[in-house]
């Protein structure tokens, strides 16, 4: 599919998309009155992962308190805390009144991977530690401008495969388990092998409820995995990658192996 131009991406989002370049100074806040942000939760407390083709939408829930009551969230932005870069679209906000003084305003943010190559020479540098800045307003005119009211991680999505052979295998014989670890490259919007990463080989015996780690193997220069184990029981094998600061964790689908 042909990638849309920067102008097209901007227009589709109604002009709300913004390439954010922010100062990465120490967090601070300023304003007037007793209005305060008391809590902020991004994406339900989970990391945000972005692939190569689908836009993502995630919530930022901001708890706001003022003695006169809360008017709302008037501005919000997200960006990488280390380099000040970010590309985001604030699409909507819904405020829920919790008491006469407190409301939770949830902003919905969206990010389309197709936007990234149009604005940044190397879009992958925006992965990592991100922060939230916001401005809030009270019914009596108080306002509060806050930097870094929350921190979260924006990660490159990853994929992992597993294949065990031979199937079935004789008890006590060797089983070869292979796989491939790839991650999203936001520059060309494709997945590429992720080299030199420690990936856990896990096994769940038939009838068991949980996987256990058998060994750890590093990926090759092309992201490939291969190891041999002794098959002592029937069950399911899979690879598990715990992730990095910039790349999402992932578990492959399991490959069930029977004994003969």
2: pLDDT strictly greater than 90: no
For the record, the structure tokens of 191 come out as: 């997945």
Pairing of β 29-32 and β 143-156? antiparallel
* Whole-number average pLDDT of the chain: 90
The H or E element that residue 3 is part of is none
How many CB atoms neighbour CB 258 within 10 A? 11
pLDDT digits 0-9 by tens, 152-182: 999 999 999 999 999 999 999 999 999 999 9
Average pLDDT over residues 22-34: 65
pLDDT digits 0-9 by tens, 5-18: 232 232 233 334 44
Residue bearing the bigger pLDDT, 254 or 10? 254
| Whether the Cβ atoms of residue 22 and residue 127 lie closer than 8 Å to each other | no
Average pLDDT over residues 26-53: 90
64: pLDDT strictly greater than 70: yes
Give percent of the chain with pLDDT exceeding 90: 84
- CA-to-CA distance for 62 and 157, rounded, in angstroms? 26
First to last CA, the chain: 47
Q: Provide the pLDDT for residue 86.
A: 83
Q: Provide the pLDDT for residue 28.
A: 61
For the record, the structure tokens of 162 come out as: 């597993």
40: pLDDT strictly greater than 50: yes
Best-predicted range by mean pLDDT (29-33, 86-90, 105-109, 144-148)? 105-109
For the record, the structure tokens of 105 come out as: 């305003």
Taking CA atoms, 43 is separated from 17, 60, 166, in Å, by 19, 6, 42
Q: Provide the pLDDT for residue 5.
A: 29
Site of tokens 């109604």: 14
Residue bearing the bigger pLDDT, 20 or 154? 154
The region, left, alpha or beta by phi > 0 then psi within -120 to 50, assigned to residue 197 is: beta
For the chain, strand residue ranges (E) read 18-21, 29-32, 36-42, 48-50, 56-65, 70-80, 85-97, 102-111, 128-138, 143-156, 158-165, 174-185, 190-193, 198-205, 212-218, 224-230, 235-241, 250-251, 255-257
Taking CA atoms, 33 is separated from 138, 146, 188, 203, in Å, by 9, 14, 48, 58
**All domains of the chain in start order, with CATH:** 6-155 (2.60.40.3880), 158-257 (2.60.40.730)
Q: Provide the pLDDT for residue 208.
A: 96
22: pLDDT strictly greater than 60: no
Average pLDDT over residues 230-253: 98
241: pLDDT strictly greater than 50: yes
């Amino acid at each position: 599919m042909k990638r849309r131009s920067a102008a097209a991406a901007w227009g589709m989002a109604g002009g709300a998309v913004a390439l954010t370049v922010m100062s990465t100074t120490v967090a601070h806040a300023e304003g007037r009155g007793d209005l305060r942000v008391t809590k902020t939760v991004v994406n339900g407390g989970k990391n945000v992962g972005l692939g190569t083709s689908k836009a993502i939408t995630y919530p930022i829930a901001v708890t706001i308190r003022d003695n006169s009551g809360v008017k709302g969230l008037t501005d919000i932005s997200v960006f990488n805390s280390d380099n000040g870069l970010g590309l985001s679209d604030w699409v909507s906000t819904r405020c829920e009144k919790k008491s006469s003084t407190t409301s939770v305003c949830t902003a919905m943010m969206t990010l389309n991977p197709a936007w990234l190559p149009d604005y940044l020479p190397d879009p992958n540098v925006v992965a990592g530690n991100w922060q939230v800045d916001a401005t809030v307003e009270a019914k009596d005119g108080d306002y509060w401008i806050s930097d870094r009211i929350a921190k979260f991680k924006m990660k490159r999505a990853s994929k992992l495969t597993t294949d065990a052979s031979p199937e079935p295998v004789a008890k006590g014989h060797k089983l070869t388990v292979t796989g491939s670890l790839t991650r999203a490259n936001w520059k060309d919007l494709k997945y590429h092998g992720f080299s030199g990463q420690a990936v856990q080989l896990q096994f769940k015996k038939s009838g068991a409820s949980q996987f256990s780690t058998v060994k750890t193997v590093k990926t090759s220069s092309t992201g490939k995995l291969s190891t041999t184990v002794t098959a002592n029981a029937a069950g399911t094998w899979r690879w598990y990658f715990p992730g990095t600061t910039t790349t999402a964790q992932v578990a492959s689908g399991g490959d069930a192996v029977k004994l003969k």
